[in-house]
Amino acid sequence: MQQAIPYKSWPLPCIDATSHRARSTTTLGHNGRGKDVLNIVSENAVIVLARKGCCMSHVVRRLLLTLGVNPAVHEIDEENEAGILNELGTICKGTENNKMVQLPAVFIGGRLFGGLDKVMATHISGDLISVLKDAGALWL
């Protein structure tokens, strides 16, 4: 019997804000963006939240691609940025990152993993692949 894959594992390459706005019309207006984001984060094995046109997110994507992971990328508009970051901040308070979430932010397995710093460090120390496998973003 095949094991159920816990998260949606075929994320569309560039899930942009518009498609999600369409999806989550039931959410409240004020927290609309934040809730959207939370949904996406929990639904994807790997997702990168980044500002629009950020070149660093490009770096993160390229790195994950070389590992065989095609991450979802959610671009945040400037006006929504503060709200979304606040929302994420309150959720992530329990984890090690007590500081504000920095963009680009990588979420693995529905949890905040860290910024480009963390991804690089984990990659160099050789642990990134196992982290990705645990989250179901990679097989083999």
Partner 1 sequence: MNSPTPQFVPSRLSIYEPIHQIGIWGENFKRNGNPNTSTSLIVEVDNKLENESETTSHEMLAPTNNYEQEASKPIDKIQRRLAQNREAARKSRLRKKAYVQQLENSRLKLIQLEQELQRVTQQGLYMGGVSEGSHIGFSGTVTSGIAAFEMEYGRWVDVQHRQICELRTALNAHISDIELRILVKSGMGHYFELFRMKSTVAKADVFYVISGVWKTSAERFFSWIGGFRPSELLKLDPLTEQQILEVCNLKQSCQQAEDALSQGMEKLQETVSSTVAGGPVAEDSYIPQVATAMEKLEALVSFVNQADHLRQETLQQMSRILTTRQAARGLLALGEYFHRLRALSTLWATRPPEPSLP
Residues found near partner 1 in the complex (CB under 8 A): 53-56, 58-60, 62-63, 66-67, 116-117, 120-121, 123-126
What is d(CA 32, CA 84) in angstroms, rounded to the nearest whole number?
9
Give least dist CB 116 to partner 1, A.
6
Residue 138 φ then ψ, to 5°: -135, 145
Nearer to partner 1, 50 or 92 (CB): 50
Give least dist CB 134 to partner 1, A.
18
Nearer to partner 1, 53 or 94 (CB): 53
Nearer to partner 1, 5 or 14 (CB): 14
Give least dist CB 71 to partner 1, A.
12
Give least dist CB 54 to partner 1, A.
7
Nearer to partner 1, 40 or 128 (CB): 128
- Structure token digits, residue 87: 């929302």
What is d(CA 72, CA 70) in angstroms, rounded to the nearest whole number?
7
Please name the residues in contact with 52: beta carbons below 8 A apart, sequence gap of 6 or more: 75, 76, 77, 78
Nearer to partner 1, 59 or 131 (CB): 59
Give least dist CB 125 to partner 1, A.
6
- Structure token digits, residue 133: 């496998």
Q: 32-43 and 78-91 are packed helices; what angle lies between their axes, rounded to 10 degrees? A: 60
Q: DSSP H helical segments within 16-127, as ranges?
A: 17-23, 32-43, 55-66, 78-91, 116-124
